[in-house]
Amino acid sequence: AQSVTQLDSQVPVFEEAPVELRCNYSSSVSVYLFWYVQYPNQGLQLLLKYLSGSTLVKGINGFEAEFNKSQTSFHLRKPSVHISDTAEYFCAARLGGGNTPLVFGKGTRLSVIA
Amino acid sequence: GAVVSQHPSWVICKSGTSVKIECRSLDFQATTMFWYRQFPKQSLMLMATSNEGSKATYEQGVEKDKFLINHASLTLSTLTVTSAHPEDSSFYICSASTQEGYNEQFFGPGTRLTVL
């Protein structure tokens, strides 16, 4: 079955430090990749997406991600985190065309420490 | 644009009662809507996919008689949890997909269901 793997369930990081949240997906002919953020008791907010073209994707709140086809990865990065970035982050993929549903990773809890 | 709403945002009910959750696409037509549930500190698990005017497709392990999904129009899908029990307590999130381009999914804010 198609899958998305987030290698870290929790990532603690000090404020203003850089962070990388890792995501790997199972290989597919066509793939669309997404990162979402979820704050407590709220829905999902799209951070960024990769559809095609440039492998470096910039999103909101200073986040960016790089699509690496050979490593089947789509890691999320931010050069300097803030306390307000503390949240749950989900990597998701649409592995196929049409209206196939998104497949989600298990999530990574980012905790920013003052 | 591309806003999806859910109603109610939270609901508390007694065991044995039924609860209906609405998912609406406010400014676009959604031929396909997806229903997910999320347990505390866990990821989203797809429950079912619904296409307007046809029966929903349920994921393996999801009871279709317990989780009734209706997608009667291009802007509204409903999830009814019938005879709810405490183990049905969860966060339910819907998403709606556009017809255009790569069929991006837009997520609703979620509904917190607590069954006492």
Q: Is B77 touching A (CB cutoff 8 A)?
A: no
Using alpha carbons, select from A47, A4, A21 the residue that is nearest to residue A112.
Answer: A21
> pLDDT (tens digit, 0 to 9) for every residue of chain B, 116 residues total?
688 999 999 999 999 999 999 999 998 888 889 999 998 888 899 999 998 888 899 999 999 999 999 988 889 999 999 999 999 999 999 999 876 656 678 899 999 999 99
- Kindly report the nearest CA distance between residue A36 and chain B, in angstroms: 10
Residues on chain B touching A49 (C-beta within 8 angstroms): 104
**Facing residue for A43 by CB, picked from B46, B104, B110:** B110
Mapped onto helix, strand or coil, the DSSP state of residue A84 is: helix
Distance from CA of A98 to the nearest CA of B (A): 7
Interface of B with A in 32-71 (CB under 8 A): 32, 34, 41-44, 46, 49, 51
Interface test with B, best of A6, A32, A44 (most B CBs within 10 A): A44
Q: What are phi and psi of B100, to 5 degrees?
A: -95, 160
Are A64 and A78 a contacting pair, CB within 8 Å?
yes
d(CA A114, CA A13): 9
Q: Do A104 and B49 touch (CB under 8 A)?
A: no
Could B108 and A43 be called an inter-chain contact, meaning their C-beta atoms sit closer than 8 Å? yes
* Residue A65: HSE in the Cβ half-sphere, 13 Å Cα cutoff: 30
Tell me: the pLDDT tens digits for A20-50? 999 999 866 678 899 999 998 788 999 999 9
The residues facing A4 across adjacent strands are A25
